[in-house]
Amino acid sequence: MSFDWEQSSKRIGIDDLTLLTKVSEGQIVENLKKRLQGSIIYTYIGFVLVAVNPYRLIKGMYGPEQIKKYRGKYSHELPPHVYSLADRMYRDLTSKRESQAVIITGESGAGKTETAKLIMQYISSVSGGGSSQIEHVKKVVLESNQVLESFGNATTLQNNNSSRFGKYMTIQFDEYGAPSGGRVRNYLLEKSRVVYQQQGERNFHIFYQLTMGASKEEKEYYGLDAPENFNYMNQGGKYVTDGMDEVEEYTKTKEAMVSIGMTEEESTQIFRTVAIILHLGNIDFYEDEKGNAAITDESQVDWTASLIGVESQTLSYALTFRTIHTGGIGRQGEVINVNQDVNGAYFSRDALAKAIYTRSFDRLVQHVNRALGETNHELVLGILDIFGFEIFLNNGFEQFCINFVNEKLQQIFIELTLKLEQEEYVQEGIKWTPIKYFNNKIVCDLIEGRNPLGILTILNDVCLMPKSQIQSQDEKLLAKFDENLGNHEHYSRSFQDPMKFNLKHYAGNVEYNSVGFTDKNIDTLFNDLILLCQGSSFEYLKSLFPEVIDANSKKRPTSTGTKVIKNASELVENLMKCIPHYIRCIRPNSTKKPLGFEDKLTSHQVRYLGLLENIRVRRAGFAFRQPFERFVHHYGVLCDKTWPRYNGSPKEGSKVLLDYIQLDPKEWQLGNSKVFIKHPESLFHVEELRERKYHDSARKIQKCYIHWKARKHYLELRQKASDLLVGKKQRRRLSVNRIFTGDNINYKSNAKIVDLLESGGHSTEEVLYTNKVYRVGYSRWRKKARREDRDIILTERGLYIFGKAPIKVRGEKKMVLKISREIPIATITGAHLSTLADNFVNLKITNYDLLIEDDKKTELITILNNKAEEANRQFNLNFTNTIQSKEKTGKFRTISFEADTNSSTILPNLKGSTKSLIVYVVPGLPADTRPSKITYKEREVRKVKKKPVIQQQQQQQTTRRNPPQISSRGRGGRGGRGGRGGRGGRGGFGRGGGRGGGGGRGKRQPPKPMGRGGRGGRGRGMKPTKPQIREVQNEEIQGGGLKLGGGGSTRGRGRRESPKIQPRGGRGTTSSRGGSGGGRGGWGQKQTTTTTRGGGRGRREAPKIQPRGGRGTTSSRGGGGGGRGGWGQKQTTTSSRGGGSSGGGRGGWGSNNNTNTQVKRAPPKPKPKIQKPSVPTASVLFSFEASMEGEVSVQKGTTVEIVKKDESGWWTVKNHIGETGLAPYNYLKELN
């Protein structure tokens, strides 16, 4: 089981050092130690990443799965990781269109090189791809690391793969976020390592790869031997590095050289140059009787000269003699050849070796840049991997230059994260308490200053002084240092060694040995050695020395110190053009022990890297700041008031935006020209809103485009299908304009079909068409043709027929679904169809045919025809009413189609035998029928405004049926037999006339004893009007009918005249009964009304309604309803039913209380009271003391109330004494 570092990181220590309860150096070291021991090496300080070298590979931390997990995620969503920082860089580059750069700093052995490679790996994985050029650039970016590390890295006491040169790689990106080119700039290769290594260290990796990994033939060609036999490899006494296989690394290097575009010949030339350097180092000298240098072993010179491509005497002369121009620079003088002493000869030998290696390394960088192909795109992502700060027992000129460059990088960090940030708060009017820090600008000025003079300026001046016999140049240098820098607080002389001096760097005190400073600064390469290489027959070596030698030139050679200052300034300038990101690497122990941790060593690095000050500034400062104009431009899309442009001032626009997105006012401030956002989580929230907005907009655009594309494809497909059938086959009415759906059976929801496809190896095939069809066969038992259900699935590769087959399971026969036939799509050569309106398709297949009945045959035929065209195959489509279908037995069956004009069945009738089949088809639409013409235009995407919910509810309420009225209105319906008059109803209200004229029943309520109304009199068809309910006079309440219509029972035929309304019976008093309504109407005639139906038969005019019986009061019954209507005739109504229906409705159920026209509904049940939610609480696991404003102290074992949770890791709580403030969430355990 592999170690799950992600889950572990959630439990070990603090992810972000700004969340520490007490900010101190000890707390930082303790948190880093705790996390490292749990295999968690990454920690944040806001946006700054702290990486601790574990000295081993942690499983599960890197690779494609983790890259996929971190892609597009904000830093607070997942544990700290270098992938998260790389993703933020890439997202800022593509979304904000700003160049980015990551500055990786730390001392040697802290893991800077590996971190840089991980960033390149991530960027290469997530950036755009597709074209060969983009993939080529990605490959070169990754493979160039192997080449440059082999020639530029070495094993040191602190690091097995220490960078001995500085590298700044810039990757260029096009407007789509895809890498388009790049460039590598190299700085300060440690060329002295070529000729000398300290004890326990090695030369550059390539020397060991070549001597230990080359083939036998290569070793013979280059004259190679074991590493211990070469002077340039055996000085450190270390030949093997743990975890490094030189044979494998040599193979990787050769493959990488091919990847960056180097030919085999060019690779051979490079390796030959390395061999030349090794053999040069084995040339030794001795002092002859005259005190001059002489060659110890001429055979070694012979071998070296043959590799260089010169004569042995020429090489010996160049090493032991030196040409001197006595006239000096710019003056005519005499040329003298002078013998060199032994030291001079060794100096010339080593100078030539260093020059050849340095220029070969520069040529390799040129190969990489040529392979990357620098473009005109200005959007770049820079990765700086440079040597770390170095403090050795013996520190020379190389360490001095390396530490100076690190001072410059530290100055960038201080300027941007500490100094400028605080100065900006003051300038912008932001409330701020200044935080003290050490500004190392004073150290940078001490080294590179011109006024007053700095160390490098003094060094250049001393190198121009003539040499004297009394005092060496290095001694003069120290004297000048004392004279000009003696009072400087960061400079001092060593008390133990007169040739050493001390400098107080930001990383600590370093003692430098001045011996060799002047010689290495001049970097002398005698003209004799340049001429030696220019006279070589080895063209590659010759091309490394293109300079023209002019003895009378007045130009002084550029010193190394001047080059260092220029390179450092150029590097700083390039970095300042980008948005910087920082990774602070830490070396946890001095023995390279896996997961080992030394508190003192780590504490020292925490101190000089300025992590403590960085935490303080980050806790009190703002994580994000941006000018108003850019803020409104970048985030304006979130608000309708600021998009597409804001007419007011940018500052007002920024405030409108921040108010609109409802960001906590404590999280942001508006300065004089910029917006300031305090915590990264708040910025992530705003950025996520923006991405969501763009995502939603993109989805809408995609939706419209997909709809347009699908519609266009559908119309083209339908037109193509129509072209296949038009004029050749009758069409079925429902199939002409049918939409092609593809999957007609939703096969994915059928687990059995899915399992059969997977077991048959077809699950990855693209499904084009599915449907339920009939396979037409013959039943020998029933002796007639029969249809059998089948499911068919057509994919890009074949047609699969699914049917049920019997199998025995434990002695019982069961029907099981299976693939009954698999037909490769390439074997379907055509199809036969009839000319009639049937669904039969006879697919012509190479072995035997398939006869099916498919109601979506047009779609199937069209898809098969398209696939045949794509494969450049002929698909033969024939139309005939006599088809010869080939059976599985090899015999043919005749299928005949005949028109059947007498049948109305949906499926054609079949008649057949094993040899023939007759299909009787109902005639369809003419053969020239085409689909309805649809001219599809690209529709403008309109914004659909939805009605507010409240408005919708109001509209729904207004459209609901109102409570029934006490009326005799007839409900619309077709003419028919009228209902009879209803009797007095039970309690409740009666609804108006219903279907057929009968009165509808009201809601059932407990019945009350009520009197029955009498029969109504004669009714007539009337125009429906709203019943006029008038007050009944006392004299009318006599138990009988009203004066206008008394009780009666006769029924008669309606007259041809305007019918009048028969009023309802009177209302009875207490214990009395109401009078009956009107009688049944006569026979109705044909009506043209569009309203409700009336009573008996009337004229061609709007009938009136027959009213229902009256409603009784308390303890009484309502009167009877109107009579039954006559037999109706056909109506021409459009909505409700007209005359000829029943007359007045059946009497409603009588009320037991009063005669109001509306019924009061029962009052709604009271809503349940919502209990107030309980306040969430948490127990305190560890005591926490507030150290900053806004924090609150909590004591272990007490319980606090949780006021607000925040994703930043700080919760707002109320402690046991009632104080409210912020406390770290990981100190608490939520209880409810």
Q: Mind giving me the DSSP string for 564-580?
A: HHHHHHHHHHHHHTSEE
Pairwise CA distance, residues 624 & 679, whole Å? 8
| pLDDT digits 0-9 by tens, 420-471 | 777 888 888 887 777 787 888 999 999 999 888 999 999 999 998 887 766 7
Pairwise CA distance, residues 1145 & 1105, whole Å? 9
Q: Which helix (H) or strand (E) holds 361?
A: helix 342-372
Q: Is residue 101 a known part of a binding site?
A: no
Q: Is residue 110 a known part of a binding site?
A: yes
**Upper half-sphere CA count for residue 331 (Cβ side, 13 Å):** 6
C-beta of residue 109 within 8 angstroms of C-beta of residue 605: no
> Nearest-CA neighbor of 60 among 4, 15, 11?
4
Q: List active site positions.
A: 108-109, 113, 159, 162-163, 388, 390
> Nearest-CA neighbor of 726 among 928, 879, 925, 881?
928
Q: Residue 924 is which amino acid?
A: G
The CATH class given to the 727-921 domain equals mainly beta
Strands 840-845, 828-833: pairing is antiparallel
Q: Is residue 831 a known part of a binding site?
A: no
Paired residues of 892 in beta bridges: 886
User: Domain spans of the chain?
Assistant: 5-201+363-391+581-619, 399-526+558-578, 623-726, 727-921, 967-1024+1039-1154, 1177-1230
Tokens 């007609």 found at: 744
- pLDDT over 60 (residue 1170): no
Q: Is residue 177 a known part of a binding site?
A: no
Residue 1223, both tokens: 């406390």
Q: Is residue 111 a known part of a binding site?
A: yes
User: Computed over its alpha carbons, how large is the radius of gyration of the chain?
Assistant: 49
Topology match between the domains 623-726 and 1177-1230: no
Please tell me the predicted confidence (pLDDT) of residue 555.
Answer: 66
> Nearest-CA neighbor of 1144 among 1097, 1098, 1094, 1099?
1094
Pairwise CA distance, residues 1063 & 1046, whole Å? 9
Cβ atoms within 10 Å of 1187's Cβ, excluding its own: 13
Beta-carbon contacts of residue 726 (< 8 Å; ≥ 6 apart): 927, 928, 929, 930
Q: Where does the pLDDT of residue 6 fall: very low under 50, low under 70, confident under 90, or very high at 90 and above?
A: low
The CATH class given to the 399-526+558-578 domain equals mainly alpha
The packing angle between helices 246-259 and 132-152, to 10°, is 140
Q: Mind giving me the DSSP string for 921-983?
A: E---B-TT--PPP----PPP-PPPPPPPHHHHHHHHHHHSPPPPPS--PPPP--S-PPPPPPP
Question: What are the distances in angstroms from CA 236 to CA 211, 228, 239, 351, 391?
Answer: 16, 10, 8, 20, 18
Query: Under CATH, which number does the domain 5-201+363-391+581-619 receive?
Result: 3.40.850.10
pLDDT above 70 covers what percent of the chain? 77
Please tell me the predicted confidence (pLDDT) of residue 961.
Answer: 37
Q: Is residue 112 a known part of a binding site?
A: yes
CATH: 1.25.40.340, 3.30.300.130, 3.30.70.1590, 3.30.360.10. Which one for 623-726?
Answer: 3.30.70.1590
Question: What are the distances in angstroms from CA 56 to CA 41, 52, 1039?
Answer: 11, 11, 109
Most confident region among 9-23, 519-533, 1079-1093 by mean pLDDT: 519-533
**Cis preceding linkage at 498, omega within 30:** no
Q: Is residue 106 a known part of a binding site?
A: yes
C-beta of residue 39 within 8 angstroms of C-beta of residue 6: no
Q: Where does the pLDDT of residue 20 fall: very low under 50, low under 70, confident under 90, or very high at 90 and above?
A: confident
Q: What are phi and psi of 800, to 5 degrees?
A: -115, 125
Average confidence (pLDDT) over 834-855: 92
Query: Is the whole-model pTM more than 0.85?
Result: no
Please tell me the predicted confidence (pLDDT) of residue 1161.
Answer: 55
Please tell me the predicted confidence (pLDDT) of residue 1164.
Answer: 62
Q: Is residue 128 a known part of a binding site?
A: no
Q: Where does the pLDDT of residue 393 fall: very low under 50, low under 70, confident under 90, or very high at 90 and above?
A: confident
Most confident region among 2-6, 200-204, 967-971, 1093-1097 by mean pLDDT: 200-204
Q: Which residue has the higher pLDDT, 1129 or 681?
A: 681
Average confidence (pLDDT) over 787-807: 91
| pLDDT digits 0-9 by tens, 1088-1128 | 333 333 333 434 444 444 444 444 333 334 344 444 444 44
Question: What are the distances in angstroms from CA 852 to CA 404, 512, 692, 798?
Answer: 85, 94, 50, 16
Pairwise CA distance, residues 465 & 1044, whole Å? 142
Query: Under CATH, which number does the domain 1177-1230 receive?
Result: 2.30.30.40
